Structure 1
């Protein structure tokens, strides 16, 4: 339970409440050389405890409901995008150009799941839009991994050179990451204490986020996991995307449970956004740091227009240091921070058994929002919470220690180990996207919800307005 205590402490929670958490330990899930199982258990457990704490506060309960975190449920949830089935069809995972490549010196990993990222990668390599994987491999073999990293970054694409743990520790971005806490928390103003509406007397479950409005400006994967969790807990979550940046269909199906989905041009539709903001309780952003500031979405600017708001931000590298403005994804953070070498070798890089940085950070982000809401009910103030995949990676590699007597697992392959048999953690739901086989929520506390209130809606199918 040490990792749960650490996560709860990073969230600012009362230490004594950790006693409300019990764990069902399954030593054969999320096997890795690094303590991935402990990280996953801690992130979900802390999220469930934050939900139970807020639920107790709103319902006037004398005691915070008991929390159970089951490793089997957590492992299934951390593989949710792999376990999804749409009308029996397996999801599309990584695109052909999202993978490891041999470079003239070292290895480089690219991310090109989105068409615009693929185009920028190929443009940086001087290749046509219809270039094959073989052509990319040939071009990358002509230059070093570090040269490719910089060239693709300048073109707005995504590529990261493989680094050992020692090489990452010598990087200036690593020093910036190490200097920050796992969860950054700040008070933005002196807004009065939040007053919650009382829970519905005949509510079928304890819903800590009932009646709260969450503007979801996130993509890929941590942010959507966080807002999916808030939707589970009763929030009215409206995801807003630019109309020219459609989400990957399977990813949208996996992370869209409980939400509505709208499109909005933040420049042309400024009045519409301001109307949404005027009654929002939470704004969650997951774009590259600074990208949304020009639309008036910097934390202090949001709080000035909507006092009492909770602003939650998640990024790959953190909004600071030489890489603060760079794009990034879980797979790339693993490669840069030495995780891929730890899970394999410098000659044959590996990967974590799930996109654990994404999922873990997502549950911590939801927990940080819930804790901010609880704190507001006592002390007021608009709140800012920030997390970064690289900071979660730092916690995994330097902060968590494996539980004793659980053995030393074998390394994972470059694409991760197969997902464990999910057993009872899968269910099926019919909806506008078809028949979905999906993972049940891993967040569990006494009298809490056990499933989302609605299946995912088609991308962009809802109006940009609150219900």
Structure 2
């Protein structure tokens, strides 16, 4: 790493991140560019966003070696190298996608069975209806009508909208990582070595209350850095096996009711809680950040949502935020059909940035005490991306050997191939089968 730091979109983003986190000891390192751009070709600055996000967690963890841009690319597109017993899973439901309406396009998400059921019910279709039947119904509706029918049944759909620069500017006027500090007494500082070695989070207990990609990427990264991560899921909400195997590295995973006595015992012994459910759902369970820090002084809370705290009851996914924020139309392949980023980059970047925040705020808690909360959202990350420099056309896709950046594990008698860790010098340990561990530290 011999080049001098120079201004760049990724350096500007890193400056914002470390300013939000109150970190001043990494300023000399944020300007270093990758040896070549991260191979994530798009009109928007997806490559710069990915580089800055991985660099943020690397520097927060005391890793000054530059990451491998190719490995970052594969980590962001990990679902494309995932294989379970040699078979690549079908990662998208027939009910997830873009659908033409009478006045535009609608984006839906139906990967979970309960979301698919609600979507079909809203459209007046029977369970098991084909994608062609969904297409025919939406084609007879306006955007507002189709979205209204689906969301009335609590299904997931958004209109595909053009970007709104004024709205995005208002988003960017808020912190990318919104940190709050509460001056409380607590004993959780007892287990924080935070040494700058190969396992800087050794001894830290992380309770993982997240699903899908962004939250699990955050907690997978904390496990990679030595934390004891226990993922807890409700017993009545199954997770697609492939989805957990893609992001479950280094964690233990258990099924437990959030209102159970055992769950609250786990919570009382945790150092960090990562929240990824809708804010309104957490409120109903008594698991909001404010409720947790009230009951457990000294706790570190990291919270992410799709749309931000101003829309606490709105569920969402990366693909829906891309569509509603204008990204899908910017990335259109032909000026008509909506497109997408080359990876679910809002999810992955939110996960890495939140992991960086956890490390930074654990260090601040060690120095300053109290309870700390950090929040971000996919919509806030989207606004950041939309404010970065963009190109008229994507750069040509750079070819490289993707197999060099994947690894295979033995998992409960089977073979699971996944992407390698994006952080330099570190290697994942195998994921466990979802829900296969005991609810204990």
- The two structures have a TM-score, normalised by structure 2, of 0.91
Report what 2:417 is aligned to.
437
Report what 1:236 is aligned to.
228
Report what 1:338 is aligned to.
326
**Helix, strand or coil for the counterpart of 1:137?**
helix
- Asked whether the 8 Å contact 1:4–1:41 carries over to 2, the reply is no
Alpha-carbon separation, structure 1, partners of 2:413 and 2:351? 24
Alpha-carbon separation, structure 2, partners of 1:383 and 1:377? 11
Alpha-carbon separation, structure 1, partners of 2:427 and 2:395? 34
Report what 1:464 is aligned to.
439
Report what 2:34 is aligned to.
24
Report what 2:279 is aligned to.
289
Q: 1:245 to 1:190 in 2, by over 3 A?
A: same
- Asked whether the 8 Å contact 1:75–1:420 carries over to 2, the reply is no
Report what 2:308 is aligned to.
318
Report what 1:61 is aligned to.
none
Report what 2:386 is aligned to.
397
Q: CA RMSD in A?
A: 2.4
Deviation, 1:179, is: 4.5
Matches within 5 A, 1:160-309: 160-166=158-164, 169=165, 177-191=171-185, 194-196=189-191, 198=193, 206-267=198-259, 269=260, 271-309=261-299
Of 129, 140, 143, the match for 2:127? 129
- Asked whether the 8 Å contact 2:192–2:204 carries over to 1, the reply is no
Of 424, 445, 454, the match for 2:404? 424
Report what 1:57 is aligned to.
none
- Asked whether the 8 Å contact 1:432–1:456 carries over to 2, the reply is no
Report what 2:51 is aligned to.
41
Alpha-carbon separation, structure 2, partners of 1:108 and 1:420? 35
Q: 1:239 to 1:431 in 2, by over 3 A?
A: same
Farther-moved stretch of structure 1 (457-466 vs 343-352): 343-352
Q: 1:393 to 1:285 in 2, by over 3 A?
A: same
Matches within 5 A, 1:76-155: 76-155=74-153
Report what 2:369 is aligned to.
380
- The two structures have a TM-score, normalised by structure 1, of 0.86
Residue ranges of structure 2 left out of the alignment (5+ in a row): 1-10
Alpha-carbon separation, structure 2, partners of 1:191 and 1:434? 47
Residue ranges of structure 1 left out of the alignment (5+ in a row): 53-64
Deviation, 1:425, is: 1.6
**Helix, strand or coil for the counterpart of 2:67?**
strand
- Asked whether the 8 Å contact 1:23–1:69 carries over to 2, the reply is no
Deviation, 1:236, is: 0.7
Deviation, 1:19, is: 2.0
- Asked whether the 8 Å contact 1:228–1:257 carries over to 2, the reply is yes
Deviation per CA, 1:275-327, whole angstroms, max 9, x where unpaired? 0011100011111122112222111211122211111111110010xx44211
**Helix, strand or coil for the counterpart of 2:280?**
coil
Deviation, 1:25, is: 3.1
Deviation per CA, 1:363-399, whole angstroms, max 9, x where unpaired? 011111111101111111111010100000000001x
Deviation, 1:347, is: 1.8
**Helix, strand or coil for the counterpart of 1:165?**
coil
Is 1:410 matched with 2:398? no
Deviation, 1:419, is: 9.1
Deviation, 1:181, is: 1.4
- Asked whether the 8 Å contact 1:29–1:420 carries over to 2, the reply is no
Deviation, 1:10, is: 3.0
Farther-moved stretch of structure 1 (27-36 vs 14-23): 14-23
Deviation, 1:165, is: 1.1
